[in-house]
Every structure is written in structure tokens, then in C-alpha cells.
Amino acid sequence: MPRARTTAVRTAVVVMTSLALAACTGGSGDGSAVATGDPAVCPGHVVDVVVSVSQWGDVAGALGGDCATVTTIVASAAIDPHDFSPSTADLTAFSRADVVVLNGAGYDTWAADAVGTLDPKPALVSAAVTADVEQGANPHLWYDPATVQATAAAITAELTALSPGAADYLAGRAAAWQAELAPYLAAVDSLHAAAAGRTYAATETVFDYMAAAVGLTDVTPEGYRRASSNHSDPAPGDLVAFEAALVNGTVDVLIYNTQTSGSVPDQLRAAADGAGVPVVEVSESPGDAKGSFVAWQLAQLSRLSDALAETP
């Protein structure tokens, strides 16, 4: 083996079905998950793919189909990728990989470090590289529609280079992925009209790329934003400024990361509720590692569309 509108968005969520991950999917006790390719069906080599985090796992699985065995190292939403330390089994998976898919930008440094120790090295796809985003920038690249498409194209290119006999099959998987992506891209486009001239503030920077993609203006107080990006507590004055923005009508919607722990985000959500500011729940990672990336994203876009419809 080689090394819209609210209705449109909601309807897309209902009718959305994901491309099935190849063969059987399982997981290990350390939070990883495996979708196994099928050499009896694949017209070329089955490529061994290791994905660092679940945000990119379904993308790789959908593109590889029966011609890829995809191991997602951090497949559980209960695991924080920032603080993750790979197990011996995880390191073994990296050592056997033909292709490694990383997020990059400092989000999964442990995975980049693991690949760096290998000789020979597997082929590497990095979302940060495709987006030309440097270390230390906002790493939540799966919320950028352009980066999602560019990373998917890079994955297909590496799979095809490693399994040329499966080129036509992989091209078909890529075309099917684009068809699956169409409702998501349509939802982003449909939100432009609703988001024009509208503002948001966020408990974290998780959703910022998507907010920018649909045209929302960020009015999160800068001090709070800086503290959140550095994973530190905001200064009291920054918290007061945030609550004031919620109360005085500066903020049209509050973006709330449901995977954040601590009293500050809850305090801000309570302030938004008290001021009648709609709260849009988003998550940093998919709740189900076996679920569809597109369905996960569409559900959040639907919530944003509903929230914007609540405010004048």
C-alpha cells in the first residue's frame, strides 16, 4: 500500500443526507474512530488516512469512500484538542498513515509534532496551508466555506496521487461531495441578505469565519475578544462593556459556543436573554463524529437564520 432564507435553510437541514463513510465505523476507548475502506470495491489501493480532529473526519471519509480507511484521532466532542496528548496507539496510527489531514494554525500541534518525527513522512494536507493562515491566527478554519472547499480538493489530490487506479472513483466521490455541499453553500449565500448591516458578538471566536462569510459585523469588545483568543479571563471592564453592548442594542445576535465551560459565557448568555438578544448556539466540534459535516453546519446556519429573523 502506498504511503436564503430561514425556510430555505431549514429545508436544507431536513432533506440533507450525508455520504456514508465506507464500510463499518468503530472507535477505541481513547476517543478515536475508524471508518474502514473496502479493497473488494475500491478499483485501486485503499489509502490509509489519519485525521487529527473530527471537524475534518467526515470530509476525508466522504471523499475517500471505499478507497480510504480513515482514522480520526480526536473523534469525541468531550475531548479538548488544545490539551490533547496522543496515545501510543495514536502515534502508531500516524506512523502507518499514507496521508495525514491536519487543521493547523496551532489547533492540533500535537499531530503536527507526531508527523514531524516520522521518516519517511506521509503526505500531508493542512487546512491552514490551503487557507494561507499562519500559526497563531484564528484556527477554526472548518467554519470558512472557501477553506472547506480548498481542503477537500487537496485531500482528493493526495488520495488520487497515492491510488491512481482509483482516479475515476475518487473523482466521482469528489463530485458527490460537491453535490452534498451545495445546500450548505446555498444557505451561506441566502444569509447574505438577512445579515446585511447586522451585528454579532461572540463568547468565543469559533464562528467568526462563518460570520464573516455571511456578512455579519463583529462588535465583540476588543478586550474580551483578545482574552477569549488567549484562553484567559476577561478584565472586569471588558465584561461590563460586553454586557452593555447587549443591553443597549449594539448587538443583533449573540453567538454562543455550547462547548465552553465557565461562568462568563453563561453570564453573557443570561444578559442577552434579559435584553431580548437572540442567542445562536454553535459548537466547536460536531456532536457526532460519525455524522455529516454538512448537516452539522446547516443546523447552525438555520439557527442563525432564525435568530436574524427575530430582530428588526
Taking only the tens place, the pLDDT of each residue in 23-49 is: 333 333 357 999 999 999 999 999 999
Q: Specify the CATH class of 6-187 in words.
A: alpha beta
Q: Model-level pTM?
A: 0.89
Give ranges for CATH 3.40.50.1980 in the chain: 6-187, 190-310
pLDDT at residue 287, rounded to an integer: 86
CATH of span 190-310 = 3.40.50.1980
Q: Which residues pair with 34 in a beta bridge?
A: 26, 71
Pairing of strands 68-74, 33-35: antiparallel
Query: Which stretches in the chain have pLDDT values below 50?
Result: 1-29
128 touches 104 (CB < 8 A): yes
